[in-house]
Structure 1
Amino acid sequence: MGRNTRKRRTPLATKIVAGAAALAVGGGGLVWANFYASAHEDHGGHNRTRSAGAQVATIDCPDIGQQIRDVPDRARGEVDGELATMDSQITNAYQRLATTRRAQAGDSRFVQNTILGPLKDRRKAIIDRIQLEINRAGGKADDNLDELAGCQGRPADQQNGGGQDGGGQDGGGQNQDDNGNGAAGPFADDFVDINDVEPNSRDLENGFAANGDGGSTGSFTAVCGVNENNLFNSDNLIVAPGVDNGAHHTHDYVGNQDNSAFSSDEDLANADTSCQNQGDRSTYYWPVLRLQDGTQEFDANDQGGGAEGNVGKILKASQAEIKFVGNQRSDVVAMPKFLRIITGDAKAFTNGVANANSSFSCTGFEDRQVTDKYVLCPEGSQVVRTSNFQSCWDGQNIDSTNHRDHVAFVQRDGSCPNGFQAIPQLQVRLVYDVPAPAVENGQVRNPYAVDGFPEQLHKPITDHNDFINVMDEDLMNEVVDCINRGEDCQ
């Protein structure tokens, strides 16, 4: 499976090329780190009590991108570039954490002095630049952002046998039970038997279907394939335009065939599409699902791939069902061209679940949806990933500073919040033939997992999905009319 060639041009924002070398452990993987923190250590302005010898799995940093608001348009590119630099800093700090286990064992202050302290200083410098860029462009930066510069070491709430002191080679060798990624997840506790999931028990506020028996009851299905063209990259055009490897994990793409961090709206509008309806040049993309079976993929040694803990065989969906539906309470209006929507949160493990919107299930059991576990399906059943997007729009903006405020989920009664209007809700259902992992004695062998930022430990709660509307006006009007008439079209 090969990487598609991507053209490179002058970046829209500061171009960041991930400079961290592939980790010098078996298979380019990552290893667990022990963090011997003293009690009442101060991390990032928060007084945290930690027991001596607490095991740290990852680095937890406040998400600056979700905290800033009202960035002037002419500063957006610079701010996005600075935030991407900050993501790279966290990745590099995590890699440092993961490859210094022996040093940490011998020095109770090693993590604070050599990783977290310098990381805070680097983040503070970026925050200062972001504030300056916003103010220069005529905005007013939040003076309190400096309080978010500090990060903390996060102890493991789940652990693999390879994470214990005796489980791996001293000095950062690959653990025998690490699935090729140095015990960067997933772990046995990240999986649940679908039979143990209660029907209709999904409890997140986000992501329930917007359509129902009232309002606009039709649907429009976009038939766009399952990435037969093998279009993969680790860019993120929405969050990090102009930044190479802005996602730090690999995406699948269907629909628009000119997806890279350097694609302009004009490029998207003029690109080829994998959709049957050639009026739909929208870009639909999501993190790839991998089977951690030791397969050396095309990106095994690349940033975004194996060099950042995303290892194993990329599993292509056997079905990628893309559907737009209506609203329970009202007709829908047309989406503006180039509207950008992200659903879910690639950093939900450290950010918390406020923006999480993942759903895993099995064919034949889809009344059982789980948000924070991967599912173990019975023989003959396939793994299902479902994303129901935000379907309320502020009526003005195609994007926002944090890439969320311009859209919203419907409320519990199916209506949109005040000031928002209903648009067609995008629903993406991905089905995979996945060999069931073996989970025995607290260990998982050959697990599957979504790609993610390395410090997120491949947690299922970090699953997410992205969309840029590039339908032509005639097709978008057809979608709206079909939904509002209560018909099912494609």
Structure 2
Amino acid sequence: MRQQTHKRGRFTNKTVAIVAALALGGGGAAIIAANASAHGDKGDSGQNNTVAAKAGTIQCPDVGQKLSDVPEKARPEVDKNLAELDNQVAKAYQQMNQQQGSNDAVLSKLNDERSRTMDNIGSAMGGDNSQLQGMNDCKWQEVATQGGQQQGGQQQGDQQGDQQGGQQQGDQQGDDQQGGGDQGGEGANDVPGNAGGQAGNGPSQDDFVDITKVQPNVQQPPQAQENGSTGTFATECGVGDPELRNSDNVIVAPGVGNGAHHTHDYVGNDSNDAFANNQTFEQGGTSCKNQDDKSTYYWPVVRAQDGKDEADANELGGGQEGNVGTILTPTSSKIEFKGNAQSKVTAMPKFLRIITGDAKAFTNGDANANASWSCTGFEDRQLTDKYPLCPEGSSVTRTFDFQSCWDGQNIDSANHRDHVAFAGEDGSCPNGFQAIPQLVNTITYDVPANTPFAVDGFPEQLHKPITDHDDFINVMSEDLMNEAVDCINSGKQCG
């Protein structure tokens, strides 16, 4: 475990005051207000300061996660219609924001559109609607805060059970973990409502916690057995080119522009957009120092809630969908591939696709959540459902531990999850799966002092930290992948 070597700082009342101020929606319209909002006068910025009396989120069953058996030939049409379901939710939020009818009327229209799209999905699968039962209706769920606890969302009370990737397991207990501890500043947890952030749709003040008040919670990895693989292979691919950012998602919504409804940073392959395919990746360039690594690594951007407009302030995936503020360029992105405690690893197949985490974890629940937020110098404490407030001299980190077991056959699956799996607590893979190099990506940010921040997300996810996720497509050459495997299996540190 990393030794703590720097002095722990203290947070000023100003930090908490700014977090609380943005939690009240200063500088933006509350696009998810459930009831009437109190509008103040325009400030110097020319924007309305809006306080949402009550707020909420549209909760829809996640059809994509349930489709485990989709014929290969039907997948393009199914993916297209799944993307349309997300588009319908985003439009519903815009209609609510523009007060185009009551919430009930908007939801009724949404569910009618959703029903027709679900019929299209069933038709694409040959008329098989058995996997779609009970997946139609969307509902409005009020979200408020009381005593520092989230009310109305999926993350209520203690988070129990395994957190995927092993970063945080068991109960999250104590007021500090739940955002209810003394973070400095009088009345820090007395902010009413849960609609905050620069755009009025999160994050809330309750989404932040002082990392110095969180108890160490990271469990040691399983001890390597005689046949285990203990090496590592690193690849250096930079921190992302702002010119390559887009709001597509080629894994989940291939061929659909703005399929993510939030903006991604990209490193590695320079040709990743909604219309890329395996040939595109093969022919693309790469930001990786080793030019044989044309893999694509991408994740949602983090934005400072600083009241400023980005270039995408009026665009889909950006300000039109509540993703606002200055995009923070990472100071580093550490990409490593690690071994397995129980066995040697086998090569990943080319074009293997892996998603870790769940972009819809706030409404879906935490079954697939794999967020790990922390601060440099405090890596022994990881947060799944809170953003860390780091002391002076410490940087914000996001760590993604990817699935490290593969079914030995498929480079993707209908729900983009079933073809890979996480290793068990002892490092062993499930029956029928084999160990592959585990991708671990740690991204670091220098967040401006006294400035809250938020990860980009779908409109209905309220910028909750638990929705953090990361995506990867393997486009290493066969020789480079074999080199990585040999390095890991022989216990070396390479790359």
Q: Same fold (TM over 0.5)?
A: yes
Of 263, 267, 270, which aligns to 2:276?
263
Question: Which sections of structure 1, spanning at least 5 residues, go unmatched?
Answer: 1-24, 37-52, 104-109, 160-174, 203-207, 438-445
**Map of 1:476 onto structure 2:** 481
Q: 1:333-360 CA distances to partner (integer Å, 9 max, x unpaired)?
A: 0000000000000000000000000000
Instruction: Name the structure 1 match of 2:204.
Output: 187
1:285 maps to amino acid? Y
Q: 2: distance between equivalents of 1:210 and 1:466?
A: 25
Match of 2:426 among 394, 409, 413: 413
Q: Which residues of 2 match residues 73-112 of structure 1 at below 5 A?
A: 73-100=72-99, 110-112=102-104
The alignment-based identity, stated in percent, is 59
Cα distance in 1 for partners of 2:26, 2:211 equals 33
1:156 and 2:161 correspond = no
CA distance in 1, matches of 2:221, 2:112: 43
Residues 1:243 and 1:211: Cα distance change in structure 2 (over 3 Å): farther
Map 1:40-439 → 2, pairs under 5 A: 55-100=54-99, 110-112=102-104, 114-135=105-126, 141-143=128-130, 145-158=132-145, 178-181=196-199, 183-200=200-217, 212=224, 215-228=228-241, 230-437=243-450
SS of 1:156's equivalent in the other structure is: strand
Classify 1:211/1:290 alpha carbon distance in 2 versus 1 (closer, same or farther; 3 Å).
Answer: farther
Instruction: Name the structure 2 match of 1:162.
Output: none
Given the superposition, is the C-alpha separation of residues 299 and 145 from structure 1 closer, same or farther in structure 2, using an over 3 Å criterion?
same
Q: Name the structure 2 match of 1:49.
A: none
CA distance, structure 1, for counterparts of residue 442 and residue 71 of structure 2? 36
Q: Contact conserved, 1:336 with 1:398, CA < 8 A, in 2?
A: yes
- CA apart distance, 1:97: 2.8
Q: Does 1:455 align with 2:460?
A: yes
- Unaligned runs of 5+ residues in structure 2 are 1-24, 37-51, 147-192
Give, in angstroms, the shift of residue 123 of structure 1: 1.0
Query: Are 2:222 and 2:426, in contact at CA under 8 Å, matched by a contact in 1?
Result: no
SS in 2 for 1:477: helix
SS of the counterpart of 2:334? Answer: strand
Cα deviation 1:247-306 (Å, max 9, x = unaligned): 000000000000100011001011100001110000000000100112221211110011
User: Which deviations, in whole Å up to 9, do the C-alpha atoms of 1:147-172 show, x marking residues without a partner?
Assistant: 2110111111339xxxxxxxxxxxxx
Letter in 2 for 1:180: Q
Q: Which amino acid aligns with 1:63?
A: D
What SS does the corresponding residue of 2:134 show, helix, strand or coil? helix
Listed one character per residue, the Cα deviations across residues 189-225 of structure 1 (whole Å, up to 9, x for unaligned) are 00000012110258xxxxx968857610000001001
Structure 2 distance, partners of 1:470, 1:66, is: 25
SS of the residue corresponding to residue 252 of structure 1 reads: strand
Partner of 2:167: none
The 3-state SS of whatever aligns with 1:75 is helix
Q: Which amino acid aligns with 2:198?
A: G
Q: Measure the CA separation in 1 of the matches of 2:242 and 2:110.
A: 40
Deviation of 1:179 (Å): 4.0
Cα distance between partner residues in 1 of 2:273 and 2:29: 26
The secondary structure found in structure 2 opposite 1:343 is strand
Measure the CA separation in 1 of the matches of 2:60 and 2:311.
31
**Structure 1 CA distance, aligned partners of 2:459 and 2:93?**
7
Structure 2 CA distance for aligned equivalents of residues 271 and 464 of structure 1:
24
**Counterparts of 2:355 and 2:242, CA distance in 1:** 23
CA distance in 2, matches of 1:72, 1:381: 49
Corresponding letter in the other structure for 1:111 = N
Q: CA RMSD in A?
A: 2.4
* Range that drifts further, 27-36 or 383-392: 27-36
| Alignment-derived partner of residue 485 in structure 1 | 490
TM (normalized to structure 2)? 0.79
Q: Retained in 2: the 8 A contact 1:384–1:432?
A: yes
Q: Which amino acid aligns with 1:69?
A: S
1:119 deviates by 1.4
CA distance in 2: counterparts of 1:210 and 1:427, whole angstroms: 16
Q: Go from structure 1 to structure 2 and tell me whether the alpha carbon gap of 1:370 and 1:27 turns closer, same or farther (over 3 Å shift).
A: closer
Deviations 1:73-131 (A, max 9, x none): 11100000000000000111122233439x6xxxxxx322x122221111111111111
SS of the residue 1:355 aligns to: coil
Secondary structure class of the residue paired with 1:307:
helix
CA contact (8 A) 2:85 2:114 kept: yes
Matched position secondary structure for 2:125: helix
Distance 1:28 1:379, change over 3 A: closer
Partner Cα separation in structure 2 for residue 30 and residue 189 of structure 1:
17
- Secondary structure of 1:74's counterpart equals helix
Tell me, in whole angstroms, the C-alpha distance in 1 between the residues paired with 2:384 and 2:449: 18
SS for the counterpart of 2:276 is: coil
- What CA distance in whole angstroms lies between the structure 2 residues aligned with 1:29 and 1:408? 41
Distance 1:26 1:229, change over 3 A: closer
Aligned partners of 2:394, 2:266: CA distance in 1, in Å?
Answer: 25
Residues 56 and 153, structure 1, Cα contact 8 Å, conserved in 2: no
Q: Is the 8 A contact 1:30 1:309 kept in 2?
A: no
